Amino acid sequence: MAVYAIGDVQGCFDELMQLLDIIKFDSVIDQIWLSGDLVNRGPKSADVLRFAMDMGPELVKVVLGNHDLHLLANATGICNYQNRMDTISSVLEADDKDELIIWLRQQHLFHHDEKLSFSMVHAGVPAEWSISECQQRAMEVEAVLKLDNWHEFFLYIYGNAPKQWSEDLTGWNRLLYITNCFTRLRYCHSDGRLELKFKGHPKNRPKHQHSWFDMPNRKSNNNNIVFGHWSTLGIGQYGNTFSLDSGAVWGGFLTAVRIDKRPYKWFTIQVNSK
Ligand SMILES: [Mn+2]
């Protein structure tokens, strides 16, 4: 059995299939982890969702990214802002839209495999949370996405504040902080406040800001974590964290890393940039 973590697919279904060919993915015994942003920008978002849904939760582990939440927001009908580069209509206009959206709402924001000793998140985790705290915080948001009135979530979870974690945060503010960490985070200030604006490479980072994985005293520092979301960082291992977003939709690459066996082996495939 092999376990592969794959970076942001963003609707690049054909390349995902080619990558599975390259790694000789065996759908009987292997497992793949998709680090979020399964949809948008690329041409075949609906096919990516159908693939993950049809494979089932034992074979494909998924965490939600900001683009996946953007799709859910648009599916509610109460949020109707689409960027001109959005390609989520392939899902919104699909005959099986309802099925795909219901499936997407059941997915996690954080995944942890105790036996492998690996976790997965789309963006990042704040320094204050241990792995088990990440799991608990993620479940708070996951529970709301499963409610009958799940659409309400999308009325409240936009904005860059609160920036600082406190166990006293409650209500939508608490869910917004958690969602921002797991789906948008790249940098934190030295004092732990989230910085959600700068998206560039760490070598150009503003003073007193750190990559989330470089935060001093990060409680999850000794744990293996794979993440996506950060195409300007590029792929690579940083301490015990593994960056997987190689900018598939920007004419870059789609990347997989095998995480069940050392040395960790990386696989990339060039994406057809049209
Ligand atoms: Mn993202």
67 C-alpha vs ligand 1 centroid, how far in Å?
A: 6
Distance CA 219, CA 190 (A): 15
Q: For residue 228, what pLDDT is reported?
A: 98
Residue 81 clears pLDDT 80, i.e. is over it: no
Q: Is the pLDDT of residue 251 over 90?
A: no
What's the pLDDT band for 273 if we cut at 50, 70, 90?
Answer: low
When comparing pLDDT for 273 and 227, which is higher? 227
b/e sequence 64-77, b meaning 16+ C-beta within 10 Å: bbbbbbbbbbbbee
**pTM higher than 0.75 for the full model?**
yes
What's the mean pLDDT in 130-139? 98
Contacts of 214 (CB under 8 A, 6+ apart): 202, 238, 239
Question: What is residue 272's predicted lDDT score, i.e. its pLDDT?
Answer: 75
pLDDT for 249 equals 80
Ligand 1 centroid to residue 174 C-alpha, Å: 20
Q: In the prediction, which pLDDT does 155 show?
A: 93
CA dihedral of 114, 120, 125, 129, whole degrees rounded to 10: -10
CB 113 within 8 A of CB 119: yes
Residue 271 has a pLDDT of 85
CA of 258 to the centre of ligand 1 (A): 21
DSSP assignment of 55-114 equals H-TTTEEEB--HHHHHHHHHHTSS-----TT--THHHHTSTTHHHHHHHHHT-BSEEEET
pLDDT tens track for 8-18: 999 999 999 99
Distance 185 CA to ligand 1 centre (A): 9
Cα of 87 vs centre of ligand 1, distance in Å, is 15
For the chain, what is the mean pLDDT? Answer: 95
Domains identified in the chain and CATH numbers: 3-270 (3.60.21.10)
